Amino acid sequence: MGKGGEDIGKGAAKGTGDLAKGTAAGVGHLAQGNFGSAGASFGKGVGGLGKNVAVGTGRGLGKIAKGLGGLFKKL
């Protein structure tokens, strides 16, 4: 079950990194006046955040459920 919490944390960390990269790239594009590219960069960052958080949460919850199932089986 501990590994499940770890996976959830990893997903959140990766997602936050993607959001930061997209935001930084978007700000750079805005500074250069490339508004279309800025929007694409922001969108890519938000998409990466959502994907990684969802994947990490799904994996983590699966491991937690498996651990709980094992505990109930022993009872």
Nearest CA to 46 out of 30, 22, 10 is that of 22
Q: What is the pLDDT of residues 25-60, one digit of tens each?
A: 999 999 999 899 999 999 999 999 999 999 999 999
Per the listing, tokens 């994947």 go with 55
Measured on CA atoms in the order 43, 44, 50, 54, is the torsion positive or negative? positive
For the full predicted model, state whether its pTM sits above 0.95: no
Question: What angle, 0 to 180 degrees and rounded to 10, lies between the N-to-C axes of helices 35-74 and 2-32?
Answer: 180
* pLDDT band at residue 74 using 50, 70 and 90 as cut-offs: confident
E-strand ranges in the chain read none
